[in-house]
Structure 1
Amino acid sequence: MRESNNELRSEEFMDEAIAAHQGAVYRLALSQTRSTADAQDVMQDVFIKLMRSQVPFRDSDHLRAWLLRVTINQCRDLARQAWHRRVEVVDEPDMGSTVTQDEAVELLMEHPVWRAMDALKESDRSVLHLRYVEELSIPEIAEALSCTQVAVRVRLRRARTRLRQMMVAQCEQQSADVPSFSQQTGVIR
């Protein structure tokens, strides 16, 4: 594919790879890091690794699987960094500026499924994301996660069960927080 080991991938190859896969890489990074800034950093690091990579790709599916695997690894590396372990993230004060995040991302982060997935382990989030957001098949997920298809099926079942439990708990919490009609009107039954 290339003439020299020191040579970077062609600009044309990188442009095509970024155009075809940046959305998937960003969505996965956002689902793992839960931060738009971190997701953008991860996406940049992933494409830099691709540019420097010596891996010959069989086809676009192989490239996509490689990118998703590297994205997961970059998210794990980011979470392991000392800075992330020591720094407590707090909401930034409003300085009267416009919204810093894309409105669609804000709406997504407020969605009950997003909040429930936030409570899941990283491995459960990644397998659910690859299956239902990226719509990868079981064999494609197995390749992206470097595990067997049986392991993917087990992880999916476990992750769906945990997500369901989180969603039920959220619904029960919300219904407990909302006063009943009789409490609101003062009517005693």
Structure 2
Amino acid sequence: MRSEREVNQAIDKYVNLITRICFLYLKNEADTQDVLQSVFLKYLKHDKPFESEEHEKAWFIRVSINACKDILKNFFHSHIVSLDKVEQFFLTEPPQHPEVLEDVLSLPQKYRSVIYLYYYEGYKETEIARILKKKVNTIYTWMFQTKRLLKKQLGGEWDAS
């Protein structure tokens, strides 16, 4: 079991990241808070050391995504959330183009996750594949399809090159 100091440091370091990921999946503040608590409780009980800081961060992302998926499997979620409410959970600066964020949130879940991890968290396709436990080519395909969908939704012409 981890010490209180370790848990508090992890909370300070990862609370914003986990909150954004959970809200991206759940679009619900109460469920997001529930997942936050369960993720940090799992961290408290997780006594295996991490290979690196990046490994620890990937563990938090993976555990958060899995907890969100569990909630979505067990509870019917059809919440509609205003873009203003979503923006408050992206605790950094608000998006420059809110229409893009709105369109990203309307994408199927697999595309939302890939785009979020790539553009908002700065992960490379190979890292996303490892985090989501998918093949790298699957991630490349999803990125291609997502860009095509977003371009179409935003009214641009699609150029496959």
Specify the TM-score bucket, using the shorter chain as the normaliser.
0.7 to 0.9
SS at structure 1 position matched to 2:50: coil
Q: Which has the larger radius of gyration?
A: 1
How far apart are the structure 2 equivalents of 1:60 and 1:103?
28
Q: 1:60 to 1:122 in 2, by over 3 A?
A: same
Residue 3 of structure 2 is aligned to residue 10 of structure 1 = yes
Alignment correspondent of 2:147: 160
Q: 1:102 to 1:130 in 2, by over 3 A?
A: closer
How far apart are the structure 2 equivalents of 1:40 and 1:104?
14
The 8 Å contact of residues 138 and 149 in structure 1, kept in 2 or not, is answered as yes
Q: 1:164 to 1:40 in 2, by over 3 A?
A: farther
SS at structure 2 position matched to 1:168: coil
Gapped runs of 5+ residues in structure 1?
Answer: 1-7, 92-100, 170-189
For each residue in 1:47-66, what CA deviation from the matched residue of structure 2 results, as whole angstroms up to 9, or x when unmatched?
11111224431011001111
Query: Kindly, what percent of the aligned residue pairs are identical?
Result: 27
Taking only aligned residues, the RMSD between alpha carbons, in angstroms, comes to 2.6
TM-fit CA distance, 1:142: 1.9
How far apart are the structure 2 equivalents of 1:141 and 1:15?
27
TM-fit CA distance, 1:36: 2.4
- The number of residues matched between the two structures is 149
Alignment correspondent of 1:56: 49
For each residue in 1:85-139, what CA deviation from the matched residue of structure 2 results, as whole angstroms up to 9, or x when unmatched?
5xx6478xxxxxxxxx69734976x921222122211111011110111111223
Q: Which amino acid aligns with 2:149?
A: R
SS at structure 1 position matched to 2:155: helix
SS at structure 2 position matched to 1:135: coil
From 56, 59, 64, the equivalent of 1:71 is 64
Alignment correspondent of 2:127: 140
Alignment correspondent of 1:38: 31
Q: 1:143 to 1:168 in 2, by over 3 A?
A: same
Report the TM-score, using the length of structure 1 for normalisation: 0.68
TM-fit CA distance, 1:73: 1.0
Runs of 4+ in structure 1 over 6 Å off: none
